[in-house]
């Protein structure tokens, strides 16, 4: 009986010592957190998507408080969240452009030719390393295996008829799909931009037409008709500068392949 009491006393004493030690250590080594950081974390969406370039919403909040990131750095929250963060920091949020992802390919199953049929793992990175860069004859087109779909945390992009298609209203412009595409076919563009070139092929016109019925042939008709110097054809493919474009639509009307969407 005495042995049991002694053992219980020893265990109790050790437990008491550890408790006191941890309590003192917690106060001694406690790291003070800026109240603004906690407040900003509270108004951020909490998706932890990494679209801001930081490791989650708490990482962005810490960067904003330190002055390392602007108050409108959250692409998911947009202008409403930027205004709240700005109020916490006592700063003007500034103008926030609503962005969305855009896939620069219109080569659907009907319009783009295939060299062979592929059955296997649905992963664009893997398929891109296969023979001739995958089954599609166009080596610049969307592979359609859905790596971007798997990467999107907002269910805003899906494979339709062999190519990735973005739901603009669901997209939060986090950039996950941009990073996931091995062919770099996805870019972030202003939500209100009405005219964009849905092709990325760098091949010459004749080669483009041999593999895709809607690919850009680099004819420069869009470039010549634009009055605002917003359209340029470089490396056989047209590109529209959203900052210069007025959405007049003349380039789309003139395009013989109707690839300006």
pLDDT digits (tens, 9 = 90+) for 228-240: 999 999 999 999 9
Q: Which domains does the chain have, with CATH numbers?
A: 40-89 (1.10.15), 98-192 (3.30.70.20), 194-261 (3.30.70.20)
Percent residues over pLDDT 90 in the chain: 57
177 is in an annotated binding site: yes
199 is in an annotated binding site: no
Is 5's pLDDT higher than 80?
A: no
What would the mean pLDDT of 52-61 be, rounded to a whole number? 86
What would the mean pLDDT of 112-135 be, rounded to a whole number? 90
pLDDT band at 13; cut points 50, 70, 90: low
pLDDT of residue 16: 67
Is 249's pLDDT higher than 50?
A: yes
pLDDT band at 119; cut points 50, 70, 90: confident
pLDDT band at 12; cut points 50, 70, 90: low
Instruction: Answer whether 187's CB lies under 8 Å from 104's CB.
Output: yes
255 is in an annotated binding site: no
171 is in an annotated binding site: yes
Is 124's pLDDT higher than 60?
A: yes
212 is in an annotated binding site: no
pLDDT band at 25; cut points 50, 70, 90: low
222 is in an annotated binding site: no
Is 81's pLDDT higher than 60?
A: yes
pLDDT band at 46; cut points 50, 70, 90: confident
Is 154's pLDDT higher than 60?
A: yes
What would the mean pLDDT of 31-60 be, rounded to a whole number? 83
Write out the chain in H/E/C secondary structure: CHHHHHHHHHHHHHHHHHHHHHHHHHHHCCCCCCHHHHHHHHHCCCCCCCCCCCCHHHHHHHHHHHCCCCCCCCCCCHHHHHHHHHHHHCCCCCCCCCEEEEECCCCCCCCECECCCCCCCCCHHHHHCCHHHCCECCCCCCCCCCHHHHHCCCCCEEEECCEEEECCCCCCCCCHHHHHCCCCCEEEEECCCCCCECCCCCCCHHHHHHHECCCCCCCCHHHHHCCCCCEEEECCEEEECCCCCCCCCHHHHHCCCCCEC
152 is in an annotated binding site: yes
49 is in an annotated binding site: yes
174 is in an annotated binding site: yes
The whole-model pTM stands at: 0.77
pLDDT of residue 2: 67
What would the mean pLDDT of 153-178 be, rounded to a whole number? 95
pLDDT of residue 30: 47
pLDDT band at 29; cut points 50, 70, 90: low
Is 27's pLDDT higher than 60?
A: no
219 is in an annotated binding site: no
């Amino acid at each position: 009986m005495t042995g049991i009491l002694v053992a219980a006393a020893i265990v109790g004493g050790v437990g008491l010592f550890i408790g006191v030690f941890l309590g003192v250590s917690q106060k001694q080594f406690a790291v003070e957190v800026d109240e603004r950081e906690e407040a900003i974390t509270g108004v951020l969406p909490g998706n932890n998507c990494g679209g801001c370039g930081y490791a989650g919403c708490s990482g962005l909040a810490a960067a904003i408080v330190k002055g390392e990131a602007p108050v409108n750095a959250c692409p998911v929250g947009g202008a409403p969240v930027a205004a709240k963060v700005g109020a916490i920091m006592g700063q003007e949020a500034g103008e926030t452009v609503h962005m969305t992802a855009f896939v620069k390919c219109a080569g659907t199953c009907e319009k783009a030719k295939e060299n062979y049929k592929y059955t296997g793992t649905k992963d664009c990175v893997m398929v891109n390393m296969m023979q001739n860069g995958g089954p599609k004859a166009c080596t610049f087109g969307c592979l359609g295996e859905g790596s971007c779909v798997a990467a999107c945390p907002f269910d805003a992009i899906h494979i339709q008829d062999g190519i990735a298609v973005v739901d603009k209203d669901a997209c939060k412009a986090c950039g996950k799909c941009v990073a996931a595409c091995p062919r770099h076919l996805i870019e972030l563009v202003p939500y209100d931009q009405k005219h964009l070139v849905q092709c990325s092929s760098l091949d010459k016109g004749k080669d483009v037409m041999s593999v895709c019925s809607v690919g850009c042939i680099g004819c420069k008709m869009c470039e010549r008709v634009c009055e605002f110097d917003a359209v340029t054809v470089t490396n056989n493919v047209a590109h529209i500068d959203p900052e210069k474009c007025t959405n007049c639509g003349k380039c789309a009307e003139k395009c013989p392949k109707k690839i300006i969407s």
